[in-house]
Chains A and B, each alone.
Chain A
Amino acid sequence: MIWRFVVRRVLIAILQLVGISLVVFFLIRLLPADPVARLVGFNATQVAYDQAEAALGLNKSVIQQLGDYLGIMSTAKYDGIAQGYLGDSWVTGSPISEEIGRFLPVTLELITYSLLIAFLIAVPVGITSAMRPDGVGAKITFFWGLFAGSQPEFWWGLMFVFFFFTWWWEQFGFFLAPAPLGRINPMLIEPAVITGFILVDSILSLNFEAFVDAAWHLMLPVFTLVFIVSGPIIKMIRQNMVRVLRSDFILYARSCGLPSRSVSLYALRAAMAPAMTLIGIFYGFLLGGAVPIEVIFALGGLGEYSIRSILSFDYPAIQGTVLIIAMVSLLVYLTIDILHAFLDPRITF
């Protein structure tokens, strides 16, 4: 049963990806931009310009370009998407998939840790503030939500850098947080890339010095993201829980004389399933939404890569990035749906 569902969802996802690729392909070509001029400079000779244009394939008709890109009825020497190849970057010349392979794990690592921590905080806080609506927890949550949501994330990022790095050093003479310049101290030996998650890799390669330093470098960016996303997550978990606590089955469970511990478990069980969906939505959102944080801390994530590609009119890179982000989002949604189905027997495939 579940396999049929997965297969169906994957097929739908492929259709969606094809749709997204087409939209992006045409949208960027509608932009009033001249990537060739950008590449060869405005003072280049007509010959140099024509050569570059031919090298990029931009002298062909749009339909032919599309064929090259998709790898269907291609007129180019290189492979297309159908052959599983995303093309080469116009700027660096190296394969897009390789570049994304380097940048994507950075982003994934950042948002995975942030969401995990945010949930570990939000679940208990959201639940207690739902159970005691007049308690301190509920009030703190309320003001936190207001406060954290009052400024954009880059502002908070800069504030934290200023406070924990600059100000702290001036006040106390040591660094609470490292300079916002990457994932690890450049003087250390970086762990070999295995998963792309630097913490995981440093453990796998038994490089504990790197592990500690990388964790230290991740501390502030993760803290900033947690600070920002926890507010809305707590709010949604609390609302879920309030709704569940008012439900017929909780009232009935109490009227049957179930111990309060069991009643809480009943409530938790019902409130958790929708919270799962929430993780998925936030994950998809942060794939693109964490850009300001990546930039401030110079982490070198996918967000930074996409900005760079856009500014240099690197069409293959833009197309590749959008495709990969969409793919990861769809994958996350699918995983969440499967997990949800395991939690909630009402969902059938």
Chain B
Amino acid sequence: MAIDEMTAPAGDTGSARPIMKVENLSVVFPRPDASDITAVHDFSLSVTEGEFIGIMGEPGCGKSTAAMAMLGLVRPPGRIATGTVEFLGQDLGKLDEEELRAIRGKDIGMIVQNPRHSLHPMIRVGTQISNVYRAHNDVSKQEAWEHSIEMLRMVGINDPERRVKAYAHELSSGMAQRVLIAIALSSQPKLLIADEPTSGLDVTIQAQFLDEMWDNVQKTRSSVVLVTQDLGIVANYCDRVVIMHQGTIVEVAEVHDFFNSPQHEYSKAILGLQRRAQEKGVAIAKVDEKAPPLLRIEDLTMHFPIRASKSKVHAAEQVSFEIKPGECLGLVGESGSGKTTVGRCLLRLEEPTSGSINFHDVDLASVSREEFRKNRANMQIVFQDPLDSLNPRWTIKQVLEEPLKLHSDMDQEQRLDRIRELLKLVGLEESFVQALPKEISAGRQQRVSIARAIASNPDFIVLDEPTSALTPETTAEIIELLIDLSNKLGIAYLFISHDLTTVKFICHRVVVMYLGQIVEIGTKDQVFETPRHPYAKALLSAHLFPDVANRRVDREVRESLQGEIPSPITENLPKGCYLFGRCPSQVEKCRNMPQELTELEDGRLVRCWRVQEGELTD
């Protein structure tokens, strides 16, 4: 519907005006001792007025290089080998350096990947924003400086008068990201090229920013070319999708067509999980509801002391839940909500401040380290970045052999057999045993970490963002593998992720955390279909599911949370409900009334008195 409105501007002949036309663009990087690499090959794309285009593709496929080359820029020593770029009817190749400069950053805005490295490390952020502003506007230094403060305020940075004097390394990557957004939007470009502009941001802020960009496109009829790895963003905002693979465009499609009937093999791989689920019905097996719990944690609390200060970081506050054998429990929340801390406490990678962890009838929180180690065979963890957790000098064989030596008394022969078996279980070929971690792809590395985790036959694994560092196609494969392993071996998971799409796929029940507290626990359907706690609602509504039938931009109300999650140090914690200040349903009474996690009629637990008393329905 939205697309129809856009492709038929009032009083026009029917076709919208092209803003940029790229033809046969190729970018080449010379290598001193080998043949050149063609990073982008024959890239052609035309962008029309008011269009929102998404570019997807695996890391290193040339997305960012192509985006830069649209501006006529290449990182040295690369060069643009062939191709033309026409912008508003002008051939950019025919302009001189000064004319090009005047267009860059003014008519074409750019947001690059890696925001912290893209700001100069030794120049104040405000000076850098001012410099860009002054490059395109005839203003004094003072005016430009005030303008910078204004822009920081506009992109929601707290205390802009102080931040404007900061250096890049003093900003979080989310904040640096917003500085780049501020720079790009301030000149109201006709075309915005954005390279993974929201990768450092939390879902709630990501939604705010993309909403604003989309509204802006509608209002001013400017255009956006958005490079992203996230199917959710593409499905919810883009009109057209460009799929790149190994330097070339393999598919350009209208967004609904792309999701409903992808043409190219690689597109199908990207959409793997969605499609296979529809076709074969990949699903995790049902759990025996009557079985006694495998793991029961009660009032788990973790306070980190802050050096030279009386206050503490309240990373987890009285967290309680149960996991049944073979069950997958999802743990979701914004970053900093305490998810990782809970996972790490279970394995005593952090020593919890208080609380109990009952596993196989032993309280892991209070037993000695010695005693605890005996239980480690039954309980494993897989981290987000496989390279961080695999010893870079060990071959895959050594990696897998270690837990076998530690937790079993197999002889060498038996261990080799077991390694073969493990590789087969995680879908790796035997020939990988001699490889080093860095020699194999990220997806395979994660398979190796999973193989290592299941080596000792555990019945419970903590998965901390196991797919967050992976591309959509490998994410799909890893999720399928995890489901498969659970079905075959009966392993239970605590699945920690901020990616609700994968959580929805794999989990039986879901825990939502905010500021170290659980705010809602329920079955997957309860939480995903009808979330009750205001925070859970906002989180779900801000999450971008890759579902073109229900695009966020087509919705009447796009709920989102205002502001940002505060850091959970003692003096920041609200006296009453922790969500007070950001909650769309708050009333004065919430300010000073601490909230309890209480069971509702349908069996779920919610920490909000207004929900408990039936004041908030729908």
Interface residues of chain A, those whose CB is within 8 Å of chain B, are: 133, 242, 245-249, 251-260, 262, 266, 269-270, 273, 343-346
Contacts of B114 in A (CB 8 A): 248
CA distance A273 to B120 in the complex (A): 13
Is the CB–CB distance between B121 and A256 below 8 Å?
Answer: no
A259 in contact with B101 (CB, 8 Å): yes
Q: A249-B117, A252-B112, A252-B118 are in contact. List 15 more A-B contacts (CB 8 A).
A: A248-B112, A249-B119, A251-B73, A255-B68, A255-B71, A256-B110, A257-B102, A257-B135, A258-B132, A262-B135, A269-B120, A273-B122, A343-B122, A346-B121, A346-B122
- The answer to whether B139 has its CB under 8 Å from any CB of chain A is no
Contact A252 B97, CB 8 Å, known A257-B135, A258-B131, A258-B135: no
**In the complex, per-residue mask of B101-143: 1 if CB is within 8 Å of any chain A CB, else 0:** 1111110001010100111111100000001100110000000
- Residue on A with the closest CB to B103? A257
Would you call A248 and B117 a contact (CB within 8 A)?
yes
B183 touches A (CB below 8 Å) = yes
Task: Knowing A256-B135, A262-B131, A270-B122 are in contact, say whether A251-B75 is a contact too (CB < 8 A).
Answer: yes
A/B interface sample: 10 pairs, CB < 8 A: A247-B117, A249-B119, A255-B104, A255-B110, A256-B110, A257-B103, A257-B106, A269-B122, A344-B121, A345-B167
Say how far B76's CB is from chain A's closest CB, in angstroms. Answer: 5
Q: Which chain A residue has the least Cβ–Cβ distance from B166?
A: A345
Residues of A within 8 A of B119 (CB): 249, 252
Q: Say yes or no: is B77 at the interface (Cβ < 8 Å to chain A).
A: yes
CA distance A248 to B120 in the complex (A): 9
Report yes or no: A344 in contact with B104, Cβ–Cβ below 8 A.
no
Smallest distance from the beta carbon of A243 to chain B beta carbons, Å? 10
Residues of chain B lying within 8 A (CB to CB) of residue A346: 121-122, 167, 169
Tell me which residues across on chain B come within 8 A of A245, comparing CB atoms. 76
A contact patch SS: helix
A256 with B73: CB separation less than 8 A? no
Q: How far is the CA of A210 from the CA of B2 in the complex (A)?
A: 87
Contact B101–A257 (Cβ < 8 Å): yes
> Nearest chain B CB to A342's CB is how many angstroms away?
11
- Of the candidates A246, A254, A260, A345, the one whose C-beta lies within 8 Å of that of B73 is A254
- The 7 tightest CB contacts between A and B, nearest first, are A257-B105, A257-B104, A256-B105, A252-B118, A248-B117, A255-B110, A256-B132
Q: Which residues of B contact A262 (CB under 8 A)?
A: 131, 135
Roughly how many angstroms separate A262 CA and B101 CA in the complex, as a whole number? 12
CB neighbours of B75 from chain A (8 A) = 246, 251
Q: How far is the CB of B437 from chain A (nearest CB, A)?
A: 26
Select from chain A the residue with minimum beta-carbon distance to B113: A248
A266: chain B residues within 8 A (beta carbon): 120, 123
Given contacts A133-B77, A255-B104, A256-B110, contact A248 B118 (CB under 8 A): yes
Mark out the residues of chain B between 60 and 78 whose CB falls within 8 Å of any chain A CB in the assembled complex.
68, 71, 73, 75-77
Taking CB atoms, residues of chain B closer than 8 Å to A258 are 101, 105, 131-132, 135
Query: How many angstroms between the C-alpha atoms of A50 and B101 in the bound complex?
Result: 85
Contacts known (A262-B135, A270-B122); A255 close to B101, Cβ less than 8 A:
no
